[in-house]
Amino acid sequence: MKQQLARLATRVDALSLRERVLLFAAITALYVFLMHFFSLGPMFAKQELLRTQIVQQQNNLEGIDSEISDKVKAAQVDPDAPTRERIAAVRAQTEALATSLRAMQNGLVPPERMAPLVEAILRANGRLQLVSLRTLPVEPVQGAAKPASTPAANTPPADTQPAAKPAALLYRHGVEVTVRGNYLDMIGTMAALESMPTQLFWGGARLEAETWPNSRLTLTLYTLSLDAKWMKL
């Protein structure tokens, strides 16, 4: 053993100063590593275990806080809130539709002006004879109600009440006018009706031949209005 130490000392003495410094640094680094491994390593491992446990506890606390918050929110939820939101949305849509219909109505002939306007156009033509001019019943513009479904045989009859029909937003006011005269004069009158600044809608036309050169033309004209009132002729 002594011989080995002597040979090692001889080798160290043979090293240059730079080699001795490097050797000393290597021995010091090895010593520090061994100290860290055998003494500080277990302490760091314990510290990491504690950190993991703390993080887990924090996660558990966050989960409990979230559960408590959800229960508090659920207790504060208004069960009628979805219904009120749907009602508010329907009201907003209805108001928007009514506004759009009012804007559209500005370009249409008012119901009370239909008959006087048709008569004025016929007088301007002068060659057509007015046979009749009558108003038609006011009709709401909306889809037809769907028939109620028949209950199953095993289903007990419920206390049924007639479903309330939705209020119409738009009404159709029509007139039926019958004139007699020359076919070309009738074409001119129809062109005059179409070229008016305010609009009328065509509901139908029926042409009947009479003694030449006269024909009999029956026109159905209508306009749209937000008002169900109809001024009788």
Residues 137 and 205 grouped into a single domain: yes
Question: What's the average model confidence in pLDDT over 158-182?
Answer: 71
Please say if the pLDDT value at position 203 is more than 60: yes
Residues 47 and 133 grouped into a single domain: no
For 5-41, the pLDDT digits (tens) are: 677 677 766 777 777 677 777 778 777 666 666 665 6
Please say if the pLDDT value at position 90 is more than 70: yes
Residues 115 and 56 grouped into a single domain: no
pLDDT interval class at 158 (50, 70, 90) = very low
Q: Are 204 and 220 in contact (CB under 8 A)?
A: yes
- Which of 78, 165, 83 minimizes the C-alpha distance to 91? 83
Residues 121 and 221 grouped into a single domain: yes
Q: What are the C-alpha distances in Å from 175 to residues 42, 66, 171, 178, 215?
A: 102, 68, 13, 10, 20
Q: State the angle between helix axes of 183-194 and 111-125 in degrees (0 to 180), rounded to the nearest 10.
A: 140
Domain boundary among 32, 65, 98: 65
By residue count, the chain amounts to 233
pLDDT of residue 146: 40
pLDDT of residue 155: 45
Give residue 128's domain range. Answer: 107-142+168-225
Residues 122 and 195 grouped into a single domain: yes
pLDDT of residue 233: 42
Domain boundary among 65, 99, 118: 65
pLDDT of residue 55: 78
pLDDT of residue 153: 44
Residues 116 and 188 grouped into a single domain: yes
Please say if the pLDDT value at position 53 is more than 70: yes
What percent of the chain lies above the pLDDT cut of 70? 67
DSSP classification of residue 39: I
- Of 55-59, 111-115, 139-143, the range with the lowest mean pLDDT is 139-143
76-85, 88-97, 173-182: range with highest mean pLDDT: 173-182
Q: Is 85 inside a domain boundary?
A: no
This model's pTM is above 0.75: no
Q: Is 151 inside a domain boundary?
A: no
Residues 19 and 119 grouped into a single domain: no
- Count of CA atoms in the C-beta half-sphere (13 A) of 54: 6
pLDDT of residue 152: 41
Task: Record the tokens describing residue 178, joined without a space.
Answer: 């019958």
For 214-231, the pLDDT digits (tens) are: 888 898 888 887 766 654
Q: Are 141 and 228 in contact (CB under 8 A)?
A: no
Please say if the pLDDT value at position 208 is more than 50: yes
Q: Is 162 inside a domain boundary?
A: no
Please say if the pLDDT value at position 148 is more than 50: no
pLDDT of residue 232: 45
Residues 111 and 215 grouped into a single domain: yes
Looking at the structure of the chain, the number of domains it has is 2
Residues 61 and 130 grouped into a single domain: no
CATH number, domain containing residue 194: 3.30.70.60
pLDDT of residue 102: 64
Q: Is 84 inside a domain boundary?
A: no
Residues 30 and 137 grouped into a single domain: no
Q: Are 226 and 173 in contact (CB under 8 A)?
A: no
Question: What's the average model confidence in pLDDT over 142-170?
Answer: 51
pLDDT of residue 5: 66
Q: In which element (H, E) is residue 151 found?
A: none
